Structure 1
């Protein structure tokens, strides 16, 4: 390998490393569940469209190629979701996205039964990652809250 080729390779690797370091200083986005709506389902599989609100506490915009997440209700796994829709959240701004999740009939009935017996509120936890953030890395997020049945 020639010296100038080696220098180019080192420069390229240094640039990639520095661009990756730029995402490590970012604060995690705040993600909250805004709405749950039933979607087309079958007897064995229930589908729901979730609306998620992403708030960016950073002074730079967040751009991701999608996200993946797990939804738990009352501490028990209920559904998983992925989305390949582009996500753009302005610096110190917020954005809403819709994602579809799938769950089994048994899981849904179990959670619905708990909500009906209780006060109609579902405590949820979201854990996931913004994927391909700024074209380089992933950024995890987690949140929890309460959603009241309509």
Structure 2
């Protein structure tokens, strides 16, 4: 679940209250305290009722986001508790190996793309890129970008 984007507020007090709510939610998540609208109201000065959160779509979505993150974390903890320590260690080691493998592939791809871009630059630069991409649907946007960079 994606954390909701902060909306523009009419005054600084509302913006400050949003930040206080986010900090309280982060604290509750780290302490593994149950995240509810009432608990947020108890944790934040300036809120008097859960409806102060539920009526505002951003605040409601923010609480829902943190509730979902908390449920996911608790699910991980429960799965780890059920598995043996050896199994958990083996899974973590396998995931670390996979991460290292993916990081190595990203490094190789980055180096190859850099080499390709340098080679195209030596062979004709932007004109070569235009010829290469002229059959693609995104070409008008690329043409506009490349023509403005060439003109400068």
Q: Identify the structure with bigger relative contact order (alpha carbons < 8 Å, sequence gap 6+).
A: 1
Q: Same fold (TM over 0.5)?
A: no
TM-score, normalization by structure 2: 0.25
More helix by share: 2
TM-score, normalization by structure 1: 0.25
More strand by share: 1
